């Protein structure tokens, strides 16, 4: 069931644009804000509190919507006016100038919340004192943030606006629809995580690094445009020859490059490995750091390898966007199948996978990509994910 946790009749009207049945409840939530929040953070926090308050009596399957709107004029948040004098003060401030209207929207479902905010910039025409007083006397400003309603008589005060109109009224429906869709995608990915866990109870990294962080960094670097099997084979000899970072840091470059030649791009990879070994020793005393920012300092290490290290060595949440992951999650419908940018995909997928499952999930996806959802000929007919896969559903038609 869709539940709108708001007393606002305007939000109750706007939410009908979703075209799905809903019930409205009033949810009381703390409206005080800590200092130093940006407008986006402030309205997102208030909307989240409202959704949480509404969820107190909801069932796990329900979708509970909270929203909050604030008007910002030169950094000052203008909420609902406390009295007519306050309304006159606000409208006088806004007269002849531009201000920002921010609405935060939060959607709770099964204990998880997706929340964000939308911005519309509004410009008022120059108002006379008489006009302001007359408008305040209509009573319309008294329950509205910034002391005006753009959808009512207050519309006459507005010269122009940039952004969504419904955001100014109090509920950006396209943002709400996006957040609901996020929950649908997350539900689907939770099913995928669960099913793959059953199919592949042991989630192991295909690179045989023996639990040694440095070796995983080396193997991760060598795996670019090379198969894991080839990297495993090459590294058996490589680590006999250069068993420690010290050995690799002092290696003759030509010999090191020759040793990694079968992995392709041997000059760049060889140079990267020698320089990475030197960095590890000179800057980190031989101990691999455990943050994304520091790992990215190593030559040849991008977010993919850094995430591999964070997940497998340090047990941290990690989305490793390798070629299997990119292909399969697109086919599953988590994002458009034409999306291939690893960083964007990492950003899109991070909120959809429980953090504690993410690293193992990535290993299972690789295995699944080799066994079933192959690049050229996915075996959709017997696929255990078919019931939750967008691509599989299409191929069944």
Measured from each CB, the residue nearest to ligand SF4 is: 392
User: Residue 263 or residue 332: which is nearer to ligand SF4 going by CB?
Assistant: 332
Angle in degrees, 0-180, between the axes of helices 303-312 and 342-349, rounded to the nearest 10: 40
Give me the long-range contacts of 29-37 (CB less than 8 A, separation at least 24).
29/53, 29/66, 31/79, 33/77
Strand partners, 120: 101
CB 302 within 8 A of CB 268: no
User: Residue 120 or residue 321: which is nearer to ligand SF4 going by CB?
Assistant: 321
Shortest Cβ 366–ligand SF4 spacing (Å): 13
User: Residue 124 or residue 200: which is nearer to ligand SF4 going by CB?
Assistant: 200
Closest CA to 301 of 331, 284, 324: 284
Shortest Cβ 228–ligand SF4 spacing (Å): 20
Spatial distance between the Cα atoms of 230 and 301, rounded to a whole number of angstroms: 19
Angle in degrees, 0-180, between the axes of helices 173-199 and 323-332, rounded to the nearest 10: 120
Closest CA to 264 of 236, 234, 244: 234
Shortest Cβ 391–ligand SF4 spacing (Å): 4
Shortest Cβ 357–ligand SF4 spacing (Å): 18
User: Residue 97 or residue 387: which is nearer to ligand SF4 going by CB?
Assistant: 387
Q: Which residues bind ligand SF4 (CB under 6 A)?
A: 328, 331-332, 372-373, 378-380, 383, 385-386, 389, 391-392
User: Residue 88 or residue 383: which is nearer to ligand SF4 going by CB?
Assistant: 383
User: Residue 303 or residue 363: which is nearer to ligand SF4 going by CB?
Assistant: 363
Is position 68 annotated as part of the catalytic site?
A: yes
Shortest Cβ 153–ligand SF4 spacing (Å): 54
Shortest Cβ 353–ligand SF4 spacing (Å): 16
Q: How far is CA 396 from the centre of its chain?
A: 31
User: Residue 150 or residue 192: which is nearer to ligand SF4 going by CB?
Assistant: 192
Residue 30: CB atoms within 10 Å: 10
Spatial distance between the Cα atoms of 212 and 209, rounded to a whole number of angstroms: 6
Residue 84: CB atoms within 10 Å: 15
Shortest Cβ 369–ligand SF4 spacing (Å): 8
Spatial distance between the Cα atoms of 100 and 75, rounded to a whole number of angstroms: 9
Candidates 30, 68, 282, 322; catalytic one:
68
Which residues are designated catalytic? Answer: 68
């Amino acid at each position: 069931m869709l539940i709108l946790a708001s007393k606002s009749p305007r939000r109750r009207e706007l939410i009908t644009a979703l075209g799905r049945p809903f019930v409205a409840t009033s949810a009381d939530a703390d409206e005080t804000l800590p200092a130093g929040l940006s407008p986006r953070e402030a309205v997102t926090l208030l909307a989240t509190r409202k959704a949480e308050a509404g969820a107190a009596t909801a069932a796990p399957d329900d979708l509970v919507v909270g929203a909050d709107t604030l008007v910002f004029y030169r950094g000052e948040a203008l909420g609902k006016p406390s009295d007519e004098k306050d309304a006159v003060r606000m409208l006088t401030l806004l007269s002849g100038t531009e201000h920002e209207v921010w609405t935060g929207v939060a959607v709770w479902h099964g204990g998880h919340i997706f929340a964000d905010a939308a911005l519309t910039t509004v410009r008022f025409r120059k108002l006379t004192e008489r006009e302001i007083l007359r408008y305040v006397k209509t009573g319309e400003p008294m329950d509205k943030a910034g002391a005006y309603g753009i959808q009512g008589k207050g519309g006459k005060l507005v010269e122009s606006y940039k952004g969504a109109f419904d955001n100014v009224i109090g509920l950006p429906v396209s943002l709400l629809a996006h957040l609901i869709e996020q929950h649908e995608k997350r539900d689907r990915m939770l099913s995928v995580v669960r099913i793959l866990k059953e199919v592949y109870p042991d989630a192991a990294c295909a690179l045989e690094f023996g639990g040694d962080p440095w070796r995983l960094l080396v193997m991760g670097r060598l795996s670019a445009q090379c198969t894991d099997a080839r990297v495993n084979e090459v590294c058996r000899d490589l680590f006999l020859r250069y068993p420690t970072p010290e050995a690799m840091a002092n290696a003759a470059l030509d010999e090191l490059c020759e040793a990694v030649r079968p992995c392709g791009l041997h000059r760049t990879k060889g140079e990267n490995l020698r320089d990475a070994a030197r960095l590890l020793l000179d800057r980190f005393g031989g101990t691999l750091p455990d943050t994304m920012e520091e790992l990215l300092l190593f030559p040849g290490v991008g977010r993919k390898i850094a995430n591999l290290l964070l997940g497998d060595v340090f047990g941290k949440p990690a989305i490793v966007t390798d070629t299997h992951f990119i292909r399969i999650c697109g086919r599953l419908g988590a994002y458009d199948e034409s999306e291939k940018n690893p960083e964007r995909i990492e950003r899109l997928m991070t909120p959809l996978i429980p953090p504690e499952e993410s690293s193992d999930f990535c290993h299972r996806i690789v295995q699944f990509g080799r066994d079933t959802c192959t690049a050229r000929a996915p075996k959709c007919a017997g696929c255990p994910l078919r019931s939750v896969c967008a691509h599989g559903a299409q191929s069944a038609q």
